[in-house]
C-alpha cells in the first residue's frame, strides 16, 4: 500500500451548505438500531460512516453488510476497518432475510467487505444470502454490491447463480486516480467484472456502478469513465461527493457543486444509462429503490465486442 504522508494531510475543510444536514431523531431510527442489534447485523451505513444513514434508518431502510465488518483491503477513501477477518457466520444469511421480512423491504441491498482471505472471496456467502432473502421474501428486489473477487470469474458466476436482480460493482474513481484511491484494485479489473456479468446474464440482470467525485478528477476523465462503463454494458450509474472519513484518509480536493452534479447526470443520461442518480449526497445504495427492474434490460445495453476479461 502506498504510504500516506500524514504531515501533508490538512484538517478537513468546512462543509459547504449543500452538504450540511440536520440529523433526525425519530422512533423509526431507534427501532432500526434495535433490530440490527437484536439480529447482530452489520450495515455499510455504520461501518463506512455514510452521511445518509440517519435519514435511511429513519425511513426503515439500510444496506446490509455481510461477511463481517473487518475488510482485508485498506482503500484510502473507505472508513471500513481493515483487520484480520473473523470466520463467516453460517446463520447470517437467515438473519438478513429475517430483517428484510420485518422491515417489509420491497428492495434490499446486500454488500460485503472484501474477503481476500477466502478462496472464493466470499462469493458463496453472497449466494446463500440472496437465496435466504428470496425464500423468505419472494417479492423483494435483490441488489448486490460486490467487491471485485480479485477478478475470479468462478466467484462472479457463483453470485449470479442466485439470480440477483441488480449486480453493482463500483468503479469508484477515474483511471488515473485508481492506484492511489484503491491500491488493491484496478480500473480494468472492475470493468471486467461488470462486463462478465453482462456477457453471462445480460438479458436477465441490470448492472450498476458508482463514481466518487471531488478526488481530483477532471471532467474529461469523468466522461471517459462513464463511456468505459457504458462500453461494458453498465445500465445504472451513481455519482456522489467524496467526503473524507478521518484525517488519515484521502483529503477532498473539490466540493463539487449541485449544478455540476446535475450537468454530469444529464451527460450520463445522454449516453444512455438506463437510470442515473447524481448529487452531492448520493451513495451507491442511497434511494436504491428509486429504480426497480420491472422489465429485463434492453439488448442495446450489451457490452461492446471487446476482449473478454479486459477493460476497454
C-alpha distance from residue 135 to each of 30, 66, 94 (Å): 28, 18, 10
Q: Is the pTM of this model over 0.75?
A: yes
pLDDT over 80 (residue 62)? no
Closest CA to 143 of 268, 291, 302: 291
Q: 12-51: per-residue pLDDT in tens? A: 677 777 666 665 556 666 777 788 888 888 775 554 455 5
Q: What is the pLDDT of residue 25?
A: 58
pLDDT over 60 (residue 87)? yes
Selected residue with higher pLDDT from 294 and 172: 172
- The span from the CA of 131 to the CA of 138, in Å, is 10
**Residue 311's pLDDT band (cuts 50, 70, 90):** very low
- The span from the CA of 285 to the CA of 276, in Å, is 12
Q: Which domains does the chain possess?
A: 27-301 (3.20.20.70)
Determine how many CB atoms are found less than 10 A away from the CB of residue 147: 26
Amino acid at each position: 500500500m502506498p504510504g500516506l504522508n500524514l504531515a501533508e494531510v490538512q484538517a478537513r475543510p468546512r462543509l459547504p451548505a449543500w452538504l450540511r444536514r440536520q440529523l433526525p431523531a425519530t422512533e423509526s431510527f431507534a427501532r432500526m438500531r434495535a433490530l440490527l442489534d437484536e439480529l447482530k447485523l452489520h450495515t455499510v451505513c455504520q461501518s463506512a460512516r455514510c452521511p445518509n444513514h440517519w435519514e435511511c434508518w429513519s425511513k426503515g431502510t439500510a444496506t446490509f453488510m455481510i461477511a463481517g465488518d473487518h475488510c482485508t483491503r485498506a482503500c484510502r477513501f473507505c472508513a471500513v476497518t481493515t483487520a484480520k477477518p473473523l470466520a463467516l457466520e453460517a446463520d447470517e444469511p437467515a438473519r438478513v432475510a429475517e430483517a428484510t421480512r420485518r422491515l417489509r423491504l420491497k428492495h434490499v441491498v446486500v454488500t460485503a467487505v472484501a474477503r481476500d482471505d477466502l478462496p472464493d472471496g466470499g462469493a458463496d456467502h453472497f449466494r446463500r444470502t440472496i437465496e435466504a432473502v428470496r425464500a423468505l421474501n419472494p417479492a423483494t428486489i435483490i441488489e448486490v454490491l460486490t467487491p471485485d473477487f480479485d477478478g475470479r470469474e468462478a466467484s462472479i458466476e457463483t453470485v449470479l447463480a442466485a439470480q440477483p436482480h441488480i449486480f453493482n460493482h463500483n468503479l469508484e474513481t477515474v483511471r488515473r486516480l485508481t492506484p492511489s484511491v484503491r491500491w488493491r484494485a484496478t480500473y480494468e479489473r472492475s470493468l471486467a467484472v461488470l462486463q462478465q456479468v453482462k456477457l453471462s446474464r445480460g438479458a436477465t440482470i441490470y448492472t450498476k456502478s458508482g463514481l466518487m467525485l471531488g478526488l481530483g478528477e477532471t471532467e474529461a476523465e469523468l466522461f471517459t469513465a462513464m463511456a468505459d462503463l457504458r462500453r461494458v454494458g453498465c445500465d445504472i450509474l451513481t455519482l456522489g461527493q467524496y467526503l473524507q472519513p478521518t484525517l488519515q484518509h484521502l483529503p477532498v480536493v473539490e466540493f463539487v457543486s449541485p449544478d455540476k452534479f446535475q450537468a454530469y447526470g444529464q451527460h450520463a443520461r445522454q449516453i444512455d444509462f438506463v437510470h442515473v442518480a447524481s448529487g452531492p449526497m448520493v451513495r451507491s445504495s442511497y434511494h436504491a429503490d428509486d429504480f426497480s427492474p420491472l422489465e429485463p434490460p434492453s439488448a442495446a445495453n450489451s457490452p461492446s465486442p471487446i476482449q473478454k476479461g479486459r477493460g476497454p
